[in-house]
Amino acid sequence: MEIRQRSLKYMVEREVLDEQKLEEVSQRKTYSDTHRPIRERIKGSIKLKKTVVSFFPILYWLPKYSIWDYGMPDLISGISVGIMHLPQGMAYALLASLPPVIGLYTSLYPALIYIFFGTSRHISIGTFTVLSIMVGSVTERLAPDENFFKTNGTNVTEVDTDARDSYRIQVAAATTVLGGLIQVVLGLVKFGFVGTYLSEPLVRAYTTAAAAHAVVAQLKYMFGVSPTRFSGPLALIYTLMDVCSQLPHTHLPTLVVSVVSMVLLIAMKELNSFLNPKLPVPIPGELITITVATLISSYTGLNSSYQISVVGDIPSGLSSPQVPNVSLFGEVISDAFALAIVGYAISISLGKTFALKHGYKVDSNQELVALGLSNTVGGFFQCYSVCPSMSRSLIQETTGGKTQMAGVASALIVLVTILKLGPLFQDLPKAVLSSIVFVNLKGMFKQHSDVVPLWRSSKIDLVRGGVDLHVGLNPNIALFVPTYSVLGNIPGTELYLDIETHREAREIPGITIFRSSSTVYFANAELYLEALKEKSGLDISKMIIYKRRQEAKQKRREKRAERRAKRQAKREVLSPVVDQLEFGNFFSESVTKKHLFATVHDAVIYCLNHRGATSLPRYEPSAVSTASPASL
């Protein structure tokens, strides 16, 4: 509904106020008035029970857990996610240039740790495409094939894969433990907000670049060729050119396996999309594909008869904990920091998405600690860096998962596979795992269409999206924390100052004036909402949820109206801000330019008039404020 706003006028007459006179009139409080002694603050803030529960969130929800209400949904959800962990774990391990069994370990240990420390109810911790690629760049840089050549009994030079893989596992574990420790430290010093300083254009550009790297990395398995490994900013182009030059030497049986696998996987995904409203759980297309491929490979001898590369030995049983090679820390510290930041950014964005949808809150600092502990402990068990996966998290949520008990169920599926079923996948062709990675990148491929809008919205973020640039060290991360306050009117003036620091600043009844010391943008939006809730008592998250539900009902009753054509305004006092809001499609039928005012006083007069008041309430000034400057 459009608000009809009639012309309002006001006139203010006051003496010219310099800063000194303003402090006298407003009765600004001293530092000692606004800050209690540190001993008092520490004594008043420490509550043992609250501290313990905040560090172990499982102590909050597990005692209240209802098996009747949550047991079956969590079990179904956990089984569905666990089934996804198996093919994705083995497939993404190839992206990290590690043995497939390491992917299974990575799907088990970190997920169990997160259950105790995490605050999100729906995210699924484990392997992820982008982090796998980042780890792969470290393992291949520090443990390239050429460092492990050996001569066999027939004087043929070949790669000692056992020695190479063993060292790559050490590199990945050291990087993971160091990255996890960085996350824990950042979380303990309340640095959780750092993840919010990664803009959406930057993250999308980064994941788009990662998709390109992932595709090129899998081509050697899909075509059965052996391209040279390149490093540097043009490594992707050089590797792609080398793969193309070797296409005449494509191993046809491997290519046939890749094509058939992709066709089957895509068909399963399309079938799931078509039957989604009717199926309680999705068809496990990836598991079906690797099972069928393993059976065919085992009974037809694809490896021995057609020289198709297979997964090979998958040891059964759990790995014993090993202390990471600390001598590698110096060589991987920058990679560890980048993994820590990128992993956390993905984790907190997914966590907050589900939290907003289901009406609960995730603690950004505790999430940083939880992810850090998952990585640190996992690194001792030969795991590599983890974060939640969008696909698995969506399955965990859409199949009815209510709590992280679903994570327990999915971990049990992986555990049984490692203990008993792992050796059954030894004949699985690597081309099938590469096809799984390739098909799962479908969503990221679509982001290539974002190049034009990303270029328009943030050219710098788009350029910085190259996967070889460490996002963790990106100067886009601005370490600035804004301050917030509620303003009150200084009687007899049109001035509004912080009511906590000025005694004479009076709140306008029925109106809350909330001020941020910086412009509201992507990085501090959540901080802004938290401060607004604390200062005013308004829970914006609940209001947003309620509003979205009402909008959903309205959309079901009416067809969505076509967007109005953009009209270029004449520039006013607020034109730079208005231009940015228009560019971001901020205005709508319910929020128009008539909701923006040139000054705070204009907004207050409008609100008072809208409520039927004709003027500001009158206050009797305190005795101090009427005294002369000399007597003060």
Residue 466's SS3 state is: coil
Question: CB–CB of 379/120 below 8 Å?
Answer: no
Which region among 101-115, 148-162, 417-431 has the lowest average model confidence (pLDDT)?
148-162
Residue 39's SS3 state is: helix
Is the model's pLDDT at 114 over the cut of 90?
Answer: yes
Most confident of 43-57, 412-426, 592-606: 412-426
Mean pLDDT, residues 604-622 taken together: 72
Q: How far apart are CA 467 and CA 215, in angstroms?
A: 13
Q: How far apart are CA 47 and CA 475, in angstroms?
A: 37
Q: Give me the chain's average pLDDT, please.
A: 80
Q: How far apart are CA 92 and CA 72, in angstroms?
A: 30
Residue owning tokens 């370490």 = 479
Q: How confident is the model at residue 259 (pLDDT cuts 50, 70, 90)?
A: very high
**pLDDT at residue number 359:** 80
Mean pLDDT, residues 518-542 taken together: 69
* Long-range pairs, 614-618, Cβ under 8 A, ≥24: 616/489, 616/508, 617/506, 617/508, 617/509, 618/491
pLDDT tens-digit readout, 23-60: 677 777 766 555 555 555 555 555 666 777 788 899 98
**pLDDT at residue number 252:** 94
pLDDT tens-digit readout, 172-182: 999 999 999 99
Q: How confident is the model at residue 402 (pLDDT cuts 50, 70, 90)?
A: very high
Residue 485's SS3 state is: strand
Is the model's pLDDT at 525 over the cut of 70?
Answer: no
Most confident of 284-298, 477-491, 509-523: 284-298
Residue spans of alpha helices (H) in 302-458: 302-306, 329-358, 364-380, 390-398, 405-416, 430-440, 442-446, 451-457
Three-state SS annotation for 283-341: CCHHHHHHHHHHHHHHHHCHHHHHCCCECCCCCCCCCCCCCCCHHHHHHHHHHHHHHHH
**pLDDT at residue number 474:** 44
Residue 125 — φ and ψ, nearest 5°?
A: -80, 140
Pairing of β 484-489 and β 496-498: antiparallel
* Long-range pairs, 68-72, Cβ under 8 A, ≥24: 69/402, 70/402, 70/403, 70/405, 71/405
Question: CB–CB of 201/116 below 8 Å?
Answer: no
pLDDT tens-digit readout, 533-560: 777 777 766 776 777 777 777 777 766 5
**pLDDT at residue number 239:** 85
Question: CB–CB of 44/378 below 8 Å?
Answer: no
Mean pLDDT, residues 442-467 taken together: 56
Question: CB–CB of 76/66 below 8 Å?
Answer: no
More confident residue, 15 or 624: 15
More confident residue, 629 or 48: 48
DSSP conformation letters of 184-217: HHHHHTT-GGGGGGS-HHHHHHHHHHHHHHHHHH
Residue owning tokens 């208005």 = 578
Residues constituting the chain: 632
Is the model's pLDDT at 280 over the cut of 70?
Answer: yes
More confident residue, 503 or 612: 503
Is the model's pLDDT at 627 over the cut of 50?
Answer: no
Biggest distance spanned by C-alpha atoms of the chain: 104
Under 8 Å CB-to-CB from 128, ≥6 apart: which residues? 92, 343, 346, 386, 387, 388, 389
Mean pLDDT, residues 398-406 taken together: 92
Is the model's pLDDT at 454 over the cut of 70?
Answer: no
**pLDDT at residue number 572:** 42
**pLDDT at residue number 604:** 84
Q: How far apart are CA 587 and CA 578, in angstroms?
A: 9
Residue 150 — φ and ψ, nearest 5°?
A: -145, 160
Please give the model's pTM, rounded to 2 decimal places.
0.70
Is the model's pLDDT at 2 over the cut of 50?
Answer: no
| Alpha-carbon distances of 446 from 131, 286, 458, 526, rounded to whole Å | 19, 21, 19, 28
Instruction: Write out the two tokens for 354.
Output: 């589900």
Q: How confident is the model at residue 232 (pLDDT cuts 50, 70, 90)?
A: low
Is the model's pLDDT at 352 over the cut of 80?
Answer: yes
**pLDDT at residue number 499:** 87
Q: How confident is the model at residue 523 (pLDDT cuts 50, 70, 90)?
A: low
Could you tell me the residue ranges of all domains in the chain?
A: 71-148+159-441, 484-559+573-610
Q: Which sign, positive or negative, has the C-alpha torsion 102, 105, 107, 109?
A: negative
**pLDDT at residue number 458:** 54
DSSP conformation letters of 74-133: HHHHHHHHHHHHHHHHHHHHHHTTS-HHHHHHHHHHHHHHHHHH---SS--EE--HHHHH
